[in-house]
Chains A and B, each alone.
Chain A
Amino acid sequence: MSSVDRAGRIYRISGPLIVAEGLTGVMMYEVVKVGEEGLIGEVIAIRGDRAYIQVYEETSGLTVGEKVLATGRPLSAELGPGLIGSIYDGLQRPERDIGIKTGSIFIKRGVSVPSLNREVKWNYERIRDVKLGDKVFPGDVIGLVKETPLVVHKIMIPPGVSGYIKWIAEDGDYTVEHSVAIVASGDREYEVKMYQLWPIRKPRPYAEKLSPVEPLITGIRVIDYLFPIAKGGKAAIPGGFGTGKTVALQEITKWSHSDIAIYVGCGERGNEMSDALTSFMKLMDPRRGRPMMERSVFIANTSNMPVAARETSVFLGITIGEYFRDMGYDVVMVADSTSRWAEAMREISGRMEEMPGEEGFPAYLSSRLAEFYERAGRVRTLGRPERYGSLTVFGAVSPPGGDFSEPVVRSTVRYVQCFYALDYGLATRRHFPAINWLLSYSLYIDFVKDYWNKLSNWSEYRDVALKILQREAELSDIVRLVGPEALPEEDKLVLEISRMIREDFLQQSALNPVDAYSPPEKDAMIMEAIMEFYRLSRRALTKGVTVARIRELKSRSEIAQMKYHTFEQLKAGVYNKVIESIRSDFKELIGD
């Protein structure tokens, strides 16, 4: 089809929605270029000969009659070396390059910059086993690029391509557009380049989806120990403003035991993005001693940027995540905040005059959220060599008034397996992370218990800890009426131990350089100490010792200090010392 056939005209403009006429044969979700400036839009409905187009850039100043060009392609991501360390907008335009190109501190519309730098040469090393005449299939790894000291980028045969290797590039320094192989099938030939294109709304294929087998350690105690998430899992973090969603997501991208981290800031603050960027350049990955930026990708579509691009930010993020998963990596992707994306959907839907659902959100809100979360998972990837990858997803939800009964939270809970309910009360009391232990849950307990029980008596301790916290909540009503001193000694002990669990274990400041990241071994040690203290306290009670005296034991403050030690320090002696102190304290107290 010639490009002349594929040009239409603007018929109507209404905010981010425009209607075009004369776009013959246009497809749903086809990308179009709108107006003289070629603003990027996507066809979201076709009614008769009118195409409804969601425009990803500011539309003011557009005029009826300006041309609309169809590109014949769905909205796609460029996937290849150069992704790591990038900061993209929702259309995968590199924001740093936009800054250089425009020479402006502002984001200007209509700027076109390639997603992957076309000049940079990457050192490509072919896989020796792949030879001329070999039959290759989608996902087969044919070459490697050491993209950063932390990431080996695998160059794969793209989905949908198979055939015989007709030509293959030798090792060398190539740009992303360079061909590295020609795959022939029948009389068709396909040039495999260093990068591939993939439509962001379409899940990338894999060989097989698998059940989770091990936890994704996040370094956050309340998550890892009480409500663990598995590699390939899905989690929602809902909470009112200031309850700690962003800090939690940032901590997860920083410390989680993943190979690749993708941070999507969607309709949130610019200062937060720059704070994250700066700290990712400075902070070292604790397991590999290199800057975290060397394994991270950022997507920043702040709240004052075009709303329609919030949706593409989220799908772009998950597509990049799947691509690295396909290389066999464990990937974590966080989205802050899915509510802002949902609000953008609501705005566009309103302009389309669709039938509004609950609170004005479109009826397809729920299925759109499902499309996103369902792309998480642990898989056996396509292609050879055999490999397994995972994509774990965390989505923040920002419910109005912090009220979890609203549509976005309610739709989200149907698709996630972990629910981390942030609590306004805890946050004002500066209990961070403000994850409410009574409302939060994880459905991965059975999948991760083997891992944890190798480290400690996890199943038992976790159970005890949750019961104590639950009991504390029940007792707190009574305490509010009569004061704590009126309780029986057993209950006073419960209050004392639950306070230790809250303050010495659950509370973990993201601002404390030592404690911000807590490896599972450290979690296990602190909990072991608390449980030892609990065990001996109960014995002491049977011997007539009062809780008032137990409270004064000096080992109690030693337990409190444990979190300010690194795991190495704990292991090197601090832990043993604490346990000894506990035992000798009680020995003295009971006198046996």
Chain B
Amino acid sequence: MLHETLYVKSTKQIFGVRGSLLFVRAIGGIKYGELVEVVVDGSSILGQVIDVSRDVAVVQVFGSTTGITPGVSVVKFYGETIKIPVSLDMLGRIFDGLSRPIDGGPQVIPEDYLDIHGSALNPALRVPPSEPIETGISVIDGLLTLVRGQKLPIFSGSGLPHNRIAMQVVRQAAVRGSEEKFVVVFGAIGVTYEEAAYFLRELRSMGALDRTVAFIAPASASTVEKLALPRTALTTAEFLAWNYDMHVLTILTDMTNYAESLKEISAAREEVPGRRGYPGYMYTDLATIYERAGRVATKKGSMTIMPILTMPDDDITHPIPDLTGYITEGQIVLSRDMWRKGIYPPVDVFLSLSRLMKEGIGKDKTREDHRELFSQLISAYAEAQYLRELSAIVGTESLSLRDKRYLEFADLFERKFINQGEYERRTFEQTLDLGWEMLSLLPEEELKQISPQTLKKYHPKYRLELVGRR
């Protein structure tokens, strides 16, 4: 597990315990932030130095302080921050939040040990993300395209099928151009036993396991493990992306559990709480996780992150989704209404946005008509939504034929385009063609976002003619 060093210092000089904080008489050379192990009755609890002066070191232990006895329990100072072993052999394996194997397989032979906190990418060396990732899910690929180097979260709610969507993405995601190495790093934080079992079963049954590394810290895991998991997963992802030129997509679920752990630790430290009890530094903390996404000029690989979180009470202004939205490059919002209508994946297209999509679609990326098709689908769906509301006030009788066409369009758009089988993989072409099929329900003069050339080339009506002529 942890990288044992020769320089471990130990002391029994604990003189106070409060909550999860230990006050230890300082011995020389304690480093700020270093990893600590407290030995209680033969078992050990991990901790970290969160404040140190000439007289006192304050140690935050991750987990329960039960059994810790001043003057008796031994505190070991490791001399460094948490590091994990990394290796290419991690592909195909399943680990816990501190990178210990939990799939019954052997320990991996490390190629390197890395600090899980990583370092900030140099902003001047970044290049803007611009190549699409095909998730095989129409509503994402067509309307909310994910690009390599982006961080795009899913905002879900309890009981909504975000885990199934996550697994579908793990199964299906690929980049264009088959010679490139694409891998998925999957991290599950604080998930229930049932969820963990589901993930394990899915991951094992998937043919994709050899290009996947999974990390799972169930709800019963210690707070430290839950807080470490996203960083462990991303450190592994970075190793694969920057050392092995791989395109890595990291999926992290459920980041709400992570934020809860953060809140718990902050309360234990008796910090002044910020909004709704979450620590004031939560923005920065989450940013140090999500900002690990990106591309750089000198490396072939890329880091893409798709965090999944459940919005408490479906409230998008809750600090967890709110701060996430302030960090990520857009969001995919799931809707309870759509789910009730039986749509999977139940995405609310209006509240969702992929901010980096514009750079990742079009000719040589997805297909030349993507941009226009996208704008037209969104504006038609918006018009239909407006008409739905209007017809709720004035009734459907007073709607014109045109208006009724729009309502039909919206229905079909939801049921055929957005709605998709959990095991159905659609390519970009299939998704875009399906989009055209939806648009063909509308009178041609309504398709104002589409240029005549594009219309002639892609509208099913003209395509059929072409086929007919052949």
Which A residues lie at the B interface, using CB under 8 A?
Answer: 11-15, 19, 59-65, 87, 94-96, 98-99, 104-108, 240-242, 265, 267, 269-271, 273-275, 277-278, 300, 302-305, 307, 340, 343, 346-347, 350, 356, 359-360, 398, 400-403, 428-430, 480-483, 485, 511
Contacts and interface: CB of A to CB of B under 8 A. Distances in A.
B32 A271 contact: no
Interface stretch (B51-59, B68-76, B337-345): B51-59
A114 B151 CA distance: 33
A340 B273 CA distance: 17
Interface of B: 26, 28-34, 50-54, 80-81, 117-129, 149-150, 242, 271-275, 280-281, 283-284, 287-288, 291-294, 296, 298-299, 317, 319, 322-323, 325-327, 329-331, 350-351, 353, 355-356, 358, 378, 382, 390, 393-394
B52 A269 contact: no
B322 A241 contact: yes
A270 B280 contact: no
B280 A350 contact: yes
A26 to B, nearest CB: 18
Given A241-B326, A482-B393, A278 B128 contact: yes
B121 A270 contact: yes
A359 B273 CA distance: 8
A350 B283 contact: no
A324 to B, nearest CB: 21
Given A64-B26, A241-B325, A482-B393, A271 B356 contact: yes
Contacts of A108: 119
Given A241-B322, A400-B322, A274 B127 contact: yes
A169 B50 CA distance: 55
Nearest to B79: A61
Given A62-B32, A271-B356, A350 B271 contact: yes
14 contacts: A60-B81, A61-B34, A61-B81, A65-B28, A106-B120, A269-B291, A270-B126, A271-B126, A278-B127, A303-B288, A304-B287, A304-B291, A347-B284, A400-B319
B122 A428 contact: no
A15 B52 CA distance: 10
Nearest to A62: B32
A65 B322 contact: no
B125 A105 contact: yes
A347 B34 CA distance: 21
B281 A347 contact: yes
A267 B284 contact: yes
B129 A271 contact: yes
Contacts of B271: 350
B124 A96 contact: yes
Nearest to B117: A60
Contacts of A270: 120-121, 123, 126, 291, 294
Given A106-B120, A343-B280, A428-B350, A64 B326 contact: no
A427 B126 CA distance: 28
Nearest to B53: A12
A30 B220 CA distance: 49
B291 A302 contact: yes
Nearest to A485: B394
Contacts of B127: 274, 278
Contacts of B299: 105
Contacts of A402: 317, 322
B303 to A, nearest CB: 11
Contacts of B123: 87, 95, 265, 270, 273-274, 300, 302
Given A65-B28, A302-B123, A274 B272 contact: no
Per DSSP, chain A at the interface is mixed
A99 B122 contact: yes
Given A60-B34, A64-B54, 14 more contacts: A64-B28, A106-B119, A107-B120, A241-B325, A241-B326, A270-B291, A271-B329, A302-B291, A303-B284, A303-B287, A347-B281, A360-B274, A429-B350, A430-B382
B280 A346 contact: yes
Contacts of B273: 360
B283 A269 contact: no
Q: Considering the complex of A and B, which 7 residue pairs feature the smallest CB-CB distances, nearest first? A: A60-B33, A303-B287, A12-B53, A95-B124, A241-B325, A401-B317, A106-B119
A167 to B, nearest CB: 39
Contacts of B150: 271
A428 B280 contact: no
B283 A304 contact: no
Contact of B119 (A107, A269, A360, A482): A107
Contacts of B350: 428-429
B291 A105 contact: no
Contacts of B51: 12-14
A62 B51 CA distance: 11
A481 B392 CA distance: 11
B322 A428 contact: no
Contacts of B26: 64
B129 A99 contact: no
Nearest to A12: B53
Contacts of B120: 106-107, 270, 302, 304-305
B80, B124, B323, B353 — most chain A CB neighbours (10 Å): B124
B121 A107 contact: yes
A242 B124 contact: no
A400 B322 CA distance: 7
B30 A64 contact: yes
B124 A87 contact: yes
A429 B126 contact: no
Nearest to B393: A483
B324 to A, nearest CB: 8
B272 A350 contact: yes
A359 B274 contact: yes
Contact of B284 (A104, A307, A400, A481): A307
A94 B124 CA distance: 9
A482 B394 CA distance: 8
A277 B294 contact: no
B296 to A, nearest CB: 5
B30 A242 contact: no
Nearest to B321: A241
A398 B324 CA distance: 12
B353 A242 contact: yes
Given A303-B284, A400-B319, A63 B30 contact: yes
A242 B330 CA distance: 7
Contacts of A11: 53-54
A483 B351 contact: no
B382 A105 contact: no
